[in-house]
């Protein structure tokens, strides 16, 4: 059955399935990037905690490194880590919802195809 032979309702559901898959892929990529950033921040926090209070500490501001106080930089990183955790949690919830929607659409498509094939045999 070519795409032109597919009924409009089935084409519509297949397009929806494709869109949901693309959305899920985008969310998974965002989540992975945030998780990588979170791991990097964890390592930076761990190293900063090893540094003495008076040790020279630098933070990145675009292409420039700026000297800062250890405790200030540590606090900044911990706040950023907390924000990342929240964003990861939101993306995880979106991922779950999308997976549920994908299952629903896929089962609807399967039902439509089964219904159409049994209807074709009955003729």
* List of domains in the chain: 10-122 (1.10.287.370)
pLDDT tens figures, 41-52: 999 999 999 999
pLDDT in the model for residue 112: 85
Q: Are 34 and 42 in contact (CB under 8 A)?
A: no
HEC string of the chain equals CCHHHCCHHHHHHHHHHHHHHHHHHHHHHHHHHHHHHHHHHHHHHHHHHHCCCCCCEEEEECCEEEEECHHHHHHHHHHHHHHHHHHHHHHHHHHHHHHHHHHHHHHHHHHHHHHHHHHHHHC
Task: Report the pLDDT value the prediction gives residue 113, as an integer from 0 to 100.
Answer: 84
Q: Model's pTM, two decimal places?
A: 0.81
Distance in Å from the first CA to the final CA of the chain:
18
Phi, psi of 62 (to 5 degrees): 70, -130
Predicted pLDDT of residue 116: 74
With a cut of 70, which residues of the chain have pLDDT below it?
1-4, 119-123
């Amino acid at each position: 059955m070519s795409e032109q032979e597919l009924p409009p309702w089935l084409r519509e559901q297949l397009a929806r399935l494709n869109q949901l898959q693309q959305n899920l892929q985008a969310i998974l990529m965002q989540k992975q990037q945030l998780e990588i950033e979170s791991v990097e921040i964890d390592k930076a926090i761990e190293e900063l905690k090893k540094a003495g209070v008076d040790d020279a500490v630098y933070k990145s501001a675009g292409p420039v490194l700026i000297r800062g106080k250890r405790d200030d930089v540590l606090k900044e990183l911990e706040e950023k880590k907390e924000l990342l955790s929240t964003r990861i949690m939101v993306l995880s919830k979106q991922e779950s919802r999308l997976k549920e929607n994908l299952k629903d659409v896929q089962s609807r498509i399967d039902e439509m195809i089964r219904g159409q094939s049994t209807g074709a045999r009955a003729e």
